[in-house]
């Protein structure tokens, strides 16, 4: 049965009547209906009024191969005809799940050759929390239970993933910060660096981890978790000195290192995984989003030979989801990875589109009166909005400056996301140079309009 076609007004009224949107103030829709997206192709989405919009966010940082890819559609169709569902509990397996584990083991770095499948990044992080605590119990160190994350870290929205993350508003809602989770400073040189050089600040931010481990007692600390580049926190890319020092500290105190690759994985930074861009080797790696380019929900935890060996000794692994390793999602992920390889997307991002994007964006906006900093790496960008460039003064919060800019972007036919007082972009990896020009042109126009709104010239 084809979906019912309705007009924009009708869609919006029905939506407001019956649906609560994630990370949205429901009151927002008292004045404004949602953007109803009906079609998409390549890097463009189309809304219910027929307007074509450049998706500078690849959905939610996930549509890495772009929209409408026939290879992925065919893979889902063929797998549904063969075997639409079977589970991987107890003693069962399916060919797509077996193949996907094998293919992932070829692209993940080092000895991250073992996988557990989930449906979302949040579930992957919940899995890691349970897996790592179990790991330490089996290793005979049952007190190693505490996870250390970072301020403004985002690891998902389940109760445990919320606790792992460092988002104050999420902790505040419904008393969602569980015991056993600690947070250290985020490595944002522009905001926190003071008089330190970038390299010095990277070491200082990493030192916060050692200080926290010593405060808690290394015998109580299970793992440190961080995104190679903090995405939902505003695209915060750390100084080059940061991650190697974090890794050194983790090894020194035998604290497991978890690189949350949910955004950075599958080519976003011009490498298969973000940790490769920073020269570190994590013990565990949650991945999602780009694993299937968002075509179907699937996520995974990759874990090392050491973790694997211990889990083998640990008896029943009492954890899993009905749709863990869903065969259709696995088939789509396999087709997606094959497409990334066939189209040489990671090399293209690394050698061509990411450097072009960074240069074009920086040249166009760095001197803008509203812009304090252009940050990020690969096809991931953050633009810090400031009231005063010289003093790095931010706007009053209730001015919602970034939301204003986001709304201008949308009116100009561009999706960018507002995070605090930053604008962020994360376009599909298939974006061309001409489309990057279009993205930057629309972003500049939107920044100009926002500057006029808030009286910064």
Q: Which residues bind ligand PMP (CB under 6 A)?
A: 60, 120-122, 125, 154-156, 227, 231-232, 260, 262-263, 288
Rounded least distance, CB 76 to ligand PMP, Å? 19
Nearer to ligand PMP, 365 or 380 (CB): 380
Nearer to ligand PMP, 230 or 353 (CB): 230
Helical pair 354-365 and 433-454, crossing angle rounded to 10 deg: 30
User: 87 and 348 in contact (C-beta within 8 Å)?
Assistant: no
Containing 380, the helix (H) or strand (E) segment is strand 380-385
Q: What angle do CA 285, 269, 325 make, to 5 degrees?
A: 35
Q: What angle do CA 153, 155, 352 make, to 5 degrees?
A: 80
One-character DSSP codes across 311-361: HHTS-------TTTT-HHHHHHHHHHHHHHHHTTHHHHIIIIIHHHHHHHH
Rounded least distance, CB 165 to ligand PMP, Å? 8
Rounded least distance, CB 388 to ligand PMP, Å? 31
DSSP state, residue 228: S
From CA 304, how far away is CA 449, in angstroms rounded? 49
Nearer to ligand PMP, 154 or 303 (CB): 154
Nearer to ligand PMP, 171 or 445 (CB): 171
User: 199 and 207 in contact (C-beta within 8 Å)?
Assistant: no
Pairing of the two strands 284-287 and 114-118? unpaired
Rounded least distance, CB 451 to ligand PMP, Å? 29
In the beta sheet, which residues pair with residue 183?
149
Rounded least distance, CB 144 to ligand PMP, Å? 23
Nearer to ligand PMP, 222 or 288 (CB): 288
> What values do phi and psi take at 236, rounded to 5?
-105, 105
| Minimal CB distance residue for ligand PMP | 121
Rounded least distance, CB 389 to ligand PMP, Å? 29
Nearer to ligand PMP, 287 or 451 (CB): 287
Rounded least distance, CB 227 to ligand PMP, Å? 4
Nearer to ligand PMP, 263 or 451 (CB): 263
């Amino acid at each position: 049965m084809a979906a019912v076609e309705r007009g924009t007004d009708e869609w919006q009224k029905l939506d407001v009547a019956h649906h609560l949107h994630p990370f949205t103030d429901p009151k927002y829709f008292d004045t404004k209906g949602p953007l109803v997206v009906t079609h998409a192709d390549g890097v463009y989405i189309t809304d219910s009024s027929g307007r074509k919009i450049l998706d500078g966010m690849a959905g939610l940082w996930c549509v890495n191969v772009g929209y409408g890819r026939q290879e992925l559609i065919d893979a889902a169709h063929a797998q549904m005809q063969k075997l639409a569902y079977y589970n991987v509990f107890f003693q069962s397996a399916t060919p797509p799940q077996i193949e996907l584990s094998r293919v992932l083991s070829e692209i993940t770095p080092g000895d991250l050759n073992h996988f557990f499948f989930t449906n979302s990044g949040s579930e992957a992080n919940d899995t890691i929390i349970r897996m790592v605590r179990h790991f330490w119990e089996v290793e005979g160190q049952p007190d190693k239970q505490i996870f250390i994350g970072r301020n403004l870290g985002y690891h998902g929205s389940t109760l445990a993933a919320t606790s792992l993350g460092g988002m104050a508003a999420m902790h505040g809602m419904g008393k969602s910060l569980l015991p056993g989770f600690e947070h250290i400073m985020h490595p944002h040189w522009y905001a926190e660096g003071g008089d330190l050089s970038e390299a010095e600040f990277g070491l200082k931010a990493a030192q916060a981890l050692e200080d926290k481990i010593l405060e808690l007692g290394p015998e109580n600390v299970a793992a440190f978790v961080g995104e190679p580049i903090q995405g939902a926190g505003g695209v915060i890319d750390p100084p080059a000195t940061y991650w190697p020092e974090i890794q050194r500290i983790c090894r020194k105190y035998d604290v497991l290192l978890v690189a949350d690759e949910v955004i950075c994985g599958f080519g976003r930074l011009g490498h298969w995984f973000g940790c490769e861009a920073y020269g570190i080797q994590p013990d565990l790696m949650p991945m999602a989003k780009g694993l299937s380019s968002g075509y179907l929900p699937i996520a995974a935890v990759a874990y090392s030979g050491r973790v694997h060996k211990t889990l083998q000794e640990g008896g029943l692994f009492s954890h899993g989801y009905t749709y863990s390793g869903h065969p259709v999602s696995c088939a789509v992920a396999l087709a997606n990875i094959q497409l990334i390889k066939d189209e040489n997307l990671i090399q293209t991002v690394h050698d061509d589109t990411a450097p072009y994007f960074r240069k074009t964006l920086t040249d166009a906006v760095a001197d803008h009166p509203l812009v304090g900093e252009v940050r990020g790496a690969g096809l991931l960008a953050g633009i810090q909005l400031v009231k005063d460039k010289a003093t790095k003064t931010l706007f009053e919060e209730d001015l919602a400056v970034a939301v204003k800019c986001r709304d201008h972007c949308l009116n100009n036919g561009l999706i960018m996301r507002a995070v605090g007082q930053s604008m962020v972009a994360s376009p599909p990896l298939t974006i061309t140079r001409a489309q990057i020009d279009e993205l930057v042109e629309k972003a500049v126009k939107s920044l100009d309009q926002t500057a006029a709104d808030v009286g910064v010239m």
